[in-house]
Amino acid sequence: MNLGEKINTEERLVIEASRVSRYLGYPRKVPIWKIQFSLPKICHIFRNEVNSDIALEIESMFGNCVVPALSKEEAERRLKDLIPSSVIKGKILRL
């Protein structure tokens, strides 16, 4: 069973997106969504090739992410796949 990478969310963590051509490429441009969320002090992150296009910034048990997805629901699901213990705060905004 893969437990992912254990992170301390009180410390600053920035993860840049890779594989950006997936959502910037022609002919299909995928919308980008910004999500704010809270986290427990210690949690697990499941980063892999499927979600490497998600950019994250985490500090003081709160985070922001930029998620390419076709819908707001897909963006939320992709964040939950990456960090299952995340709790969405506020609205999910399309950029």
Exposure string over 47-75, b if 16+ CB within 10 A, otherwise e: eeeebbbbbbebeeeebebbbbbeebeeb
CB 78: neighbour CB atoms within 10 A?
19
> pLDDT tens across 27-56, in order?
567 888 999 999 999 999 999 888 888 999
> pLDDT tens across 58-93, in order?
999 999 999 999 899 999 999 999 999 999 999 999
Residues 6+ apart with CB under 8 A from 24: none
